[in-house]
């Protein structure tokens, strides 16, 4: 990370030197000038250790608790009555449950992308957003995992999904994409947790050394595993971190690929397409960046983190959202073209039905949200405006949900035999489950920002120019 | 005190520095002076510091390679054993040994075990978790996780001699030199 072409910090001299250059060509800083190792440490750790709990946090946490309560009531009802409380039927056996599973899993992908792929690509601006993006991944995967677990109908037997020695002498069917999904999602959850925790260890040591309260010292001390910043430890640590990034990169691509196999391997018109994996991965990235923006913009405002999460970060995320949004839009076009080009009447009908059938308003809303709205990001003024970024991100959040609705119920409700056609609508329990899972996500997120550093302290220290030291041999 | 003899109750002598460059220079000079049992502490990873204290290689890559191969082989074996040997299901006369269908699971178990190897291997090689360490006895060491840099010469170093080591560390222009008790 030491070598890179551009200076990571904009110094005062650079601005004067470039005084006659138009403003937009001057490199934007990724860390506000004037920070030191101490000020970075103090600012980020004081959010957790010093300040009284802000009233805004209390209100947000209260709202998330309400959502969590709705989730609990829904799950209790589901366990007593069964999946019949949802809108699923024949032929639409996958409704909101799978739709929301894919939506949440997709959102999770940006965290790993930021923490692993951008690390390998030496994108230093990732440093101030990777920690909470990784946390977002974990919480999104937790929310996602609820759905298939409950959709099995008898969730108390979910452990049958795992290969374990059993007296029934049976094994899971490893040729099924649904089993691939079990392995992909559980591996993803575990590896993301490890990656996040490894990143936290040095920061937990900082909190251990700075906490005034004895209980906090002990808890953070246990979490830090006795980290003391030894050069040998750092050497192995950085090695392990890079290896984890290298492992997570193909992993994150594999997860949404395998999620897309759940559909692509089925023979259903509208699902059975070889290009589903890249289409789903691009969708996951745009969804994830939209969610990172949704969280980052209010957080930087509330906790005065504009010096760490600068306009440059927001602009870069806007660019990623634009690029992946266009890939997704292209995928919609390819999907339509391939339906026409396949010559298959069932395939063609599925797409005519999407554009003109009972769910056509979903499809048009999808095109507005995912096809048109991200194009606002072509305009620099919008990319650098937190308000416009936030609004665009909301369009994408809704758009990605609509995309999965268009793929799942609209394809399932019109398969090969007109005699088995049906319609699908989410019931109020579907909606309460969805709202509840958002509550769970926010609940975990509020706990995270209160008790753990939402920006990686030690990695921010390395962004300062004085973090770069050189041996005598290197200097000449 | 004889040279190279273990001093009761003393872990080593520690010097505190103000910035990364001072620590790196001091670490290089300490190694060049012939000390071998040395360690440096910093609030963030410093490029070249592990070389400066004479630490070159880590076995971590080999560990991750081995655990990754074990994960891949184990995952594939599990699918093969279940679907071919232990619980074969004849579906339309399709072959039992349908290995392409097991690649996704093989890939996931490879990544999972390699990640375990990376994380638990790193922690094991680093000797973590280790709640107590003598350097924590130095009260200013708390700053090592904020903005201070430390260099320790351990008492078990063959060249260790208390007065000589204190004087040597003083010559590196540290902010402070302190003895580290066990």
What is the reported pLDDT for B7? 67
pLDDT bucket at A23, cuts 50 / 70 / 90:
low
DSSP code of residue A230: B
For residues A424 and A88, the answer to whether their CB atoms sit within 8 Å is: yes
Of the residues A116, A166, A174, A223, the best mutation for testing chain B's interface (the one with the most B CB atoms within 10 Å of its CB) is A174
> Which CATH number fits the domain A49-453, given the four candidates 1.10.1740.110, 1.20.1630.10, 3.20.20.70, 1.20.140.160?
1.20.1630.10
Distances (CA, A) of A445 to A57, A137, A392: 11, 10, 22
- Hey, are the CB atoms on A231 and B41 less than 8 Å from each other? yes
Residues 150-169 of B with CB under 8 A from A: none
What is the reported pLDDT for A22? 65
Indicate if the pLDDT at residue A115 is higher than 60: yes
Domains of chain A by residue range: 49-453
Percentage, residues of chain B above pLDDT 90:
26
Residue A10 CA to residue A20 CA, distance in Å, equals: 16
Indicate if the pLDDT at residue A231 is higher than 80: yes
B38-41 vs B10-17, strand pairing mode: unpaired
CB proximity B92 to A under 8 Å: no
What is the reported pLDDT for A472? 59
DSSP code of residue A371: I
Note the helical H segments in A82-213.
96-112, 118-120, 130-151, 177-210
Q: Average pLDDT for residues A332-344, to the nearest whole number?
A: 90
Candidates A2, A244, A254; nearest CB to B47: A2
pLDDT bucket at A198, cuts 50 / 70 / 90:
very high
Indicate if the pLDDT at residue A179 is higher than 50: yes
- CA A218, distance to chain mean position in Å, is 31
The edge-to-edge listing of strands for the beta sheet with B38-41 is B38-41, B149-154, B10-17, B176-181
Chain A: give the shortest CA distance to residue B81, in Å. Answer: 10
Tell the residue number behind the tokens 């070159």, with chain if given: B56
Q: Average pLDDT for residues B19-32, to the nearest whole number?
A: 86
pLDDT bucket at A27, cuts 50 / 70 / 90:
low
Residue A215 CA to residue A134 CA, distance in Å, equals: 26
Distances (CA, A) of A320 to A104, A148, A289, A449: 19, 30, 7, 25
| pLDDT 10s digits, A204-217 | 999 888 888 888 88
Residue of A473 and A193 predicted with greater confidence: A193
SS3 sequence of A45-106: HHHHHCCCCCHHHHHHHHHHHHHHHHHHHHHHHHHHHCHHHCCCCCCCCCCHHHHHHHHHHH
Structure tokens at A103: 């939506």
How large is the ipTM?
Answer: 0.90
| pLDDT 10s digits, A369-381 | 998 999 999 988 8
For residues A460 and A308, the answer to whether their CB atoms sit within 8 Å is: yes
| pLDDT 10s digits, A116-150 | 888 888 887 888 888 888 999 999 999 999 999 99
Structure tokens at A192: 């993301």
Of the residues A169, A175, A184, A193, the best mutation for testing chain B's interface (the one with the most B CB atoms within 10 Å of its CB) is A175
- Hey, are the CB atoms on B50 and A173 less than 8 Å from each other? no
**A110: three-class secondary structure by DSSP:** helix
Residue A45 CA to residue A204 CA, distance in Å, equals: 10
- Hey, are the CB atoms on A470 and B21 less than 8 Å from each other? yes
For residues B140 and B178, the answer to whether their CB atoms sit within 8 Å is: yes
Indicate if the pLDDT at residue A17 is higher than 70: no
- Hey, are the CB atoms on A236 and B28 less than 8 Å from each other? no
Determine the length of chain A.
476
Chain B: give the shortest CA distance to residue A304, in Å. Answer: 21
Residues 104-123 of B with CB under 8 A from A: 104-105, 107-109, 111-112, 114-116, 118-119, 121-123
Q: How far apart are the first and last CA of chain A?
A: 21
Indicate if the pLDDT at residue A437 is higher than 90: yes
| pLDDT 10s digits, B71-99 | 999 999 999 999 899 888 888 888 898 89
Q: Average pLDDT for residues A215-235, to the nearest whole number?
A: 89
Question: How many A×B Cβ pairs under 8 Å?
Answer: 220
Structure tokens at A304: 């005065």
Candidates B45, B61, B98; nearest CB to A175: B98
Q: Which of A322-326, A395-399, B143-147 has the lowest mean pLDDT?
A: B143-147
- Hey, are the CB atoms on B60 and A469 less than 8 Å from each other? no
What is the reported pLDDT for A333? 92
Each residue of A340-376: b (16+ CB within 10 Å) or e? eeeeeebbbbbbebbeebebeebbebbbebbbebbeb
What is the reported pLDDT for B6? 60
| pLDDT 10s digits, A275-302 | 899 999 999 999 999 999 999 899 888 8
| pLDDT 10s digits, A34-60 | 778 888 888 888 888 866 788 888 899
Candidates A195, A205, A237; nearest CB to B145: A205
């Amino acid at each position: 990370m030491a070598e890179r072409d551009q200076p990571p910090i904009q110094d005062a001299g650079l601005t004067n030197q470039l005084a006659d250059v138009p403003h937009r060509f001057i490199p934007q800083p990724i860390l506000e000038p004037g920070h030191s190792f101490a000020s970075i440490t103090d600012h980020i750790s004081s959010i957790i250790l010093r300040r009284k709990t802000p009233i805004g946090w209390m209100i947000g946490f209260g709202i998330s608790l309400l959502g969590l309560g709705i989730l609990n009531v829904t799950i209790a009802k589901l366990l007593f009555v069964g999946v019949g409380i949802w809108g699923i039927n024949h032929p639409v056996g996958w409704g909101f449950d799978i739709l929301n599973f894919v939506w949440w899993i997709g959102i999770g992908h940006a965290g790993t992308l930021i923490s692993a792929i951008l690390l390998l690509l030496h994108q230093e601006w990732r440093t101030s957003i990777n920690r909470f993006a990784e946390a977002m991944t974990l919480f999104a995967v937790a929310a996602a995992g609820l759905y298939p677990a409950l959709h099995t109908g008898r969730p108390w037997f979910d452990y049958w999904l795992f290969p374990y020695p059993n007296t029934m002498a049976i094994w899971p069917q490893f040729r099924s994409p649904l089993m691939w999904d079990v392995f992909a999602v559980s591996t993803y959850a575990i590896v993301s947790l490890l990656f996040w925790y490894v990143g936290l260890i040095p920061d937990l040591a900082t909190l251990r050394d700075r906490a005034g309260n004895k209980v906090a010292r002990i808890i953070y001390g246990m979490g830090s595993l006795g980290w003391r910043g030894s050069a040998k430890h750092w050497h192995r640590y950085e090695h392990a971190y890079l290896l984890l990034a290298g492992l997570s990169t193909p992993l994150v691509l594999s997860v949404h690929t395998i999620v897309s196999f759940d559909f692509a391997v089925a023979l259903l018109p509208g699902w059975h397409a070889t290009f589903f994996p890249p289409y789903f991965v691009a969708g996951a990235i745009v969804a994830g960046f939209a969610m990172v923006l949704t969280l980052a913009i209010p957080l930087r405002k509330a906790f005065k983190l504009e010096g760490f999460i600068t306009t440059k970060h927001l602009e870069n995320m806007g660019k990623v959202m634009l690029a992946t949004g266009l890939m997704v839009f292209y995928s919609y076009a390819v999907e339509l073209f391939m339906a026409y080009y396949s010559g298959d009447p069932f395939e063609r009908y599925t797409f005519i039905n999407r554009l003109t059938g009972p769910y056509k308003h979903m499809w048009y809303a999808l095109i507005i949200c995912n096809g048109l709205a991200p194009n606002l990001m072509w305009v620099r003024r919008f990319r650098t405006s937190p308000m416009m970024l936030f609004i665009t991100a909301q369009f994408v959040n809704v758009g990605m949900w609509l995309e999965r609705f268009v793929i799942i119920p609209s394809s399932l409700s019109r398969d090969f035999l007109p005699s088995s056609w049906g319609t699908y609508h989410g019931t109020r329990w579907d909606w309460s489950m969805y709202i509840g899972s958002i509550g769970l996500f926010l609940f975990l997120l509020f706990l995270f920002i209160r008790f753990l550093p939402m920006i990686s302290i030690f990695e921010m220290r390395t962004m300062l120019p004085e973090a770069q030291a050189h041996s005598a041999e290197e200097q000449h | 005190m004889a040279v190279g003899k273990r001093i009761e109750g003393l872990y080593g002598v520690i010097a505190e520095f103000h910035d990364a460059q001072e620590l790196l220079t001091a670490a290089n000079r300490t190694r060049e002076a012939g000390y071998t049992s040395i360690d440096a502490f910093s609030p963030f990873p410093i490029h070249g510091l592990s070389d400066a204290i004479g630490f070159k290689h880590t076995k971590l890559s080999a560990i991750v390679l081995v655990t990754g191969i074990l994960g891949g082989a184990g995952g594939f074996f599990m699918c093969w054993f279940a679907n071919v040997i232990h619980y074969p299901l004849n579906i339309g006369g399709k072959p039992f040994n349908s290995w392409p269908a097991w690649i996704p699971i093989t890939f996931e178990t490879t990544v999972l075990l390699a990640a375990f190897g990376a994380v638990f291997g790193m922690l094991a090689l680093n000797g973590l978790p280790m709640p107590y360490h003598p350097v924590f006895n130095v009260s200013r060491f708390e700053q090592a996780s904020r903005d201070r840099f430390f260099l320790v010469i351990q008492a078990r170093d063959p060249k260790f001699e208390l007065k000589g080591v204190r004087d040597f560390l003083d010559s590196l222009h540290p902010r402070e030199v302190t003895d580290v008790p066990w």
